[in-house]
A and B are shown apart, each in its own frame.
Chain A
Amino acid sequence: MNTFIVTRLILKDWYLNRALLVAAIVTGLLTLAAVAAARGTTIALILGIIVLVTILIGMGAVIMSSMVNERKQQTLPFVMSLPVSYLEYTTSKVVGSLLIFSVLWLALFLGVIATILTTPWVSHGSIPFVVIMLVEILMSTCLIAAVSITTESQGWTIGVTQIGGLALNAIGFSIVRLPGIGNTIRSHTIQWSRTSILLLLIEFGAIALMIGIAFFIQSRKRDFI
């Protein structure tokens, strides 16, 4: 694996996404500040969650579909004219997209946790649920990446993005009903139950599996352009 060329391609994608990324982080942090300033108003909390989820899912789809866009915008022949194999190109796309999205995800993750910890009207017991849901968004974004990279289809990528967005609600409602999560969500202290740990492990396992499958499928492809 030529790490030099992979790094160059990741930096190229970082450069292409930088303005959008900064705008998303600033909007997300301003939203959190507004939620904190609203002093626990339910409507502010709901609107805040909607904005944050929209930013994360929307930006996830934009960043993760860069391989489809590269094909659609016909910049793929330019990239593939460089001294790079298709597996190195795939690595740059998977690692790069995840790194770029992780910057946004981590900024909003820390912002959300900081908001919960510093605002007295949000129970600290909700943190495990919030972490599980944020990792679920990360998992959903990895699914978009895997589908985008392996199918190279805009239709499939949009479809998976929509399904991921709808599934978020269903998963949230299902998880909150689990005793290991629901019973501690209004607690004043953070309690990591076995259920919450197990759910996080399942989510990270699914992320690893999706990335692994994407690489496996890519390694078997014979035609790249």
Chain B
Amino acid sequence: MTDLAVQFAGVSKKYPHFTLQDVDLELSTGSIMGFVGANGAGKSTTIRILMGLIHQDSGTVEVLRHTMPAQQAAAKRDIGFVSEDMRLYGALTLAWHMNFIRSIYPQWDQLYAEKLLRRFDLKAEQKIKGLSHGQRVKAALLLALARRPRLLVLDEPTTGLDPVARREVLAELVAVLADEERTIFFSSQNTGDVEQISDQITFIDRGRIIDSANKETFLDRWRRLRLIIPSNAVLPQLPGVIEVGGSARLPVLTVNRFEPAMVAACQDAGVAVQAVDAMTLEEIFIANVQSRREGVIA
């Protein structure tokens, strides 16, 4: 049986203008999940429920075998959390923050913290209010990583970072995963970041999980077929077609259950397959969201 670091079962949360509905989510220990959604899709609400900061109206949440939110204090001993809206104390130095966290977490790794200081080009004696946005994110990440958490929860950590800072942060996250027992739950609007480091991907839109699978499955099963339909041929019925673009003679099909047999089926029907294009995660996400909103996919 797979050891689960995070498990949501039928989780719902209702607000006056937003509802998170029936969220089922499983994250295995040692894996990294990219949680992708547009603004207001429900990423932060899900993460806050995961951290025990919001009580779900219904459903159950287990994090590192702790029931949330009741056992949040025990669970958070092994969680490192960084969110886009998290700020450190501006009047205090990074060194003070490091000492503060070290005094709370017995597993704090000072050598690793110092290594991260150098890698992120941070100065411990600098006050937080003097840091740039990128440096603040890296400081928060340092404080989360050096406590050696079993689960790292990151809510849009790369938002607003310049390309260099983004690369440093992502590289460190990949390095963290060298430890197979460490798990990362990583929300982002930036599908490029998610594609780069995640091995599992979950899409959320309008408070609902709309798709969840491992990255290779996503990338393998989504394709764009560029076809040429001669006047004497008819496009055969193909499974998983969620969008038909182009023209009647030169259609472009977006499919979410691609199999090589589809190409053969087209050719058997006299339809020429001009190209089978792989899709980026961003293209997959947009096509997925649009098709769900239009009701093409139930």
Total interface residues on B, using CB and 8 Å? 30
Task: State in angstroms the CA–CA spacing of A12 and B88 once bound together.
Answer: 12
Asked whether B100 lies within 8 Å of A8 as measured between CB atoms, the reply is: yes
Asked whether B91 lies within 8 Å of A81 as measured between CB atoms, the reply is: no
Task: List chain A residues, Cβ under 8 A from B171.
Answer: none
Q: Which of A8, A12, A81, A88 contacts B51 (CB 8 A)?
A: A81
In this complex, which of B48, B86, B103 has the most chain A Cβ atoms within 10 angstroms of its Cβ? B86
Task: List chain A residues, Cβ under 8 A from B76.
Answer: 81-84
- Rounded to whole Å, the gap between the CB of B64 and the closest CB of chain A is 12
Task: List chain A residues, Cβ under 8 A from B91.
Answer: 16
Beta-carbon nearest neighbor of A74 in chain B: B87
Task: List chain A residues, Cβ under 8 A from B51.
Answer: 80-81
Task: State in angstroms the CA–CA spacing of A199 and B226 once bound together.
Answer: 87
Total interface residues on A, using CB and 8 Å? 22
CB within 8 Å of B: which A199-225 residues: 222-225
CB within 8 Å of B: which A167-225 residues: 222-225
- Rounded to whole Å, the gap between the CB of A94 and the closest CB of chain B is 18
Task: List chain B residues, Cβ under 8 A from A5.
Answer: 73, 104
**What is the total of A-B residue contacts with beta carbons within 8 Å?**
65
* Chain B interface, >50% SS class: mixed
A3 within 8 A of B: no
In this complex, which of A15, A16, A225 has the most chain B Cβ atoms within 10 angstroms of its Cβ? A225
Asked whether B86 lies within 8 Å of A74 as measured between CB atoms, the reply is: yes
* Chain A interface, >50% SS class: loop
Beta-carbon nearest neighbor of B78 in chain A: A83
Task: State in angstroms the CA–CA spacing of A177 and B192 once bound together.
Answer: 74
- Rounded to whole Å, the gap between the CB of A62 and the closest CB of chain B is 14
B32 within 8 A of A: no
B198 within 8 A of A: no
Beta-carbon nearest neighbor of A19 in chain B: B91
Task: List chain A residues, Cβ under 8 A from B209.
Answer: none
Task: State in angstroms the CA–CA spacing of A12 and B96 once bound together.
Answer: 10
A42 within 8 A of B: no
Asked whether B54 lies within 8 Å of A81 as measured between CB atoms, the reply is: no
B53 within 8 A of A: yes
CB within 8 Å of A: which B156-211 residues: none
Asked whether A77 lies within 8 Å of B85 as measured between CB atoms, the reply is: yes
Asked whether A73 lies within 8 Å of B90 as measured between CB atoms, the reply is: yes
B257 within 8 A of A: no
Task: State in angstroms the CA–CA spacing of A73 and B85 once bound together.
Answer: 10
Task: List chain B residues, Cβ under 8 A from A15.
Answer: 92, 96
Q: Which of A8, A78, A83 contacts B73 (CB 8 A)?
A: A83
B140 within 8 A of A: yes
12 contacts between A and B (CB under 8 A): A2-B73, A15-B96, A73-B90, A75-B86, A77-B86, A78-B89, A81-B51, A81-B81, A81-B86, A81-B144, A83-B74, A85-B52
Q: B residues within 8 Å of A by Cβ?
A: 48, 51-55, 72-74, 76-77, 79-83, 85-92, 96, 100, 103-104, 140, 144
